């Protein structure tokens, strides 16, 4: 999944964020991804997008959360608890799966193919 972090119209990402390219690589756009390394780029005024490989069950939560935020609704305690129990949380900074041994080569190849095709 990918969040454009407000850069959807930036010329640098036009091919990458093109609907045909996204669909062709089964990439889902979401309105929200947790803050991560993308914040460092934003702080330095460097346009960026946030990319995450994720299980379908976790993806459904991010879709739900994006809809809630788009409706100007604040996540509640139940939402926060659901977030903390997502598999993806364990792969985030300092999580138990935040190490090189948990990287799935197939996922890396899929993301690389999507990004490269977006540059063509």
pLDDT of residue 35: 77
Structure tokens at 106: 């197939």
**CA–CA separation, 112 and 118 (whole Å):** 10
How many structural domains are present in the chain? 1
Query: Hey, how many other C-beta atoms are within 10 angstroms of the C-beta on 41?
Result: 15
pLDDT of residue 62: 92
Is residue 7 very low, low, confident or very high in pLDDT (cuts 50, 70, 90)?
A: confident
Is residue 33 very low, low, confident or very high in pLDDT (cuts 50, 70, 90)?
A: confident
Q: 29 pairs with which residues across the strands? A: 2
**What are the tens digits of pLDDT across the range 68-104?**
999 999 999 999 999 999 988 888 877 888 888 888 8
Domain that holds residue 49: 2-119
């Amino acid at each position: 999944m990918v969040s454009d972090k407000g850069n959807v119209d930036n010329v640098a990402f036009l091919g990458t964020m093109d609907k045909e390219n996204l669909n062709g690589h089964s990439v889902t756009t979401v309105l929200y991804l947790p803050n991560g390394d993308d914040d460092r780029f934003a702080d330095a005024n460097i346009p960026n997008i946030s990319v995450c490989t994720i299980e379908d069950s976790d993806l459904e939560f991010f879709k739900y959360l994006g809809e809630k935020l788009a409706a100007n609704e604040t996540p509640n305690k139940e939402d926060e608890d659901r977030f903390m129990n997502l598999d993806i949380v364990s792969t985030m900074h300092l999580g138990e799966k935040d190490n090189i041994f948990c990287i799935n080569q197939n996922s890396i190849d899929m993301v690389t193919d999507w990004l490269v095709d977006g540059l063509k």
